[in-house]
Amino acid sequence: MAITSEFNGFSGGLNPKEPVGAEAEKLFFHGIFALLCNRPAEAFEFFSPLAKHNGAAAFNCALCFLMAKDYEHSLKFLQEAEVLLHTFENTKPKQPLSSALLQYEKEHNGYCSPMLPDVLKLSPGQALKQTLRVKADVLYALGQTEELKKLLLLLSPEGYENIEKMKKEMRY
């Protein structure tokens, strides 16, 4: 699958069949750049060849579909990301995160920003929480209240703004 977006996009016609090493890293960062430039179709083309084996790429594919309000496809990629993220679950961050930084993240929508590739190794717990927050938004949009209630139980103690808003609207 060649990158076919308008004017060959950011890639100059890069052909991402089964990228590895530096080529995969290049694709990943082209995808982030495309997402940040509000070009989800092009971003998806960069991330999709990486998504089977890379939880951050799968998460970013989900963001592409979330931007387009295609919640079913977004949920599919979030579920794939969640499975891949669990492989890093028992690793710990190298240094504790500042409570001020964590508080800022709780109060803002940074969880809807692209996930960087090394987040899984450096802070797998944060990557999983980011994935679950987006998954909660998608489940809410799809009206899947039973699945959403399970996630709300997991995320409620964190005090995330999006979760608190859902609880209020659902009278949960």
pLDDT at 170: 87
Reported pTM: 0.83
Cα–Cα dist 76/64, whole Å: 12
Residues 17 and 1: beta-carbon distance below 8 Å: yes
Who contacts 7 (Cβ-Cβ below 8 Å, separation ≥6)?
none
The better pLDDT of the pair 133, 85 is held by: 133
Question: Torsion over CA of 30, 8, 67 and 32, rounded to 10 degrees?
Answer: 10
Please tell me the distance from the alpha carbon of residue 149 to that of residue 133, in angstroms, as a whole number.
12
At 2, the pLDDT band (50, 70, 90 cuts) reads very low
The share of the chain scoring above pLDDT 70, in percent, equals 83
Which two tokens mark 45?
Answer: 């083309």
CA dist., res. 32 & res. 97, Å (int) = 24
Tell me the residue type at 75. L
Task: List the one residue out of 161, 140, 142, 111 whose CA is nearest residue 151.
Answer: 140
pLDDT at res. 159: 79
Higher pLDDT, 94 or 147: 147
Nearest to 13 by CA among 32, 30, 37, 29: 30
Spatial neighbors of 33 by CB under 8 A, at least 6 apart, are 10
So what's the pLDDT on residue 88?
65
- The first and second tokens of residue 9, run together, are 């996009």
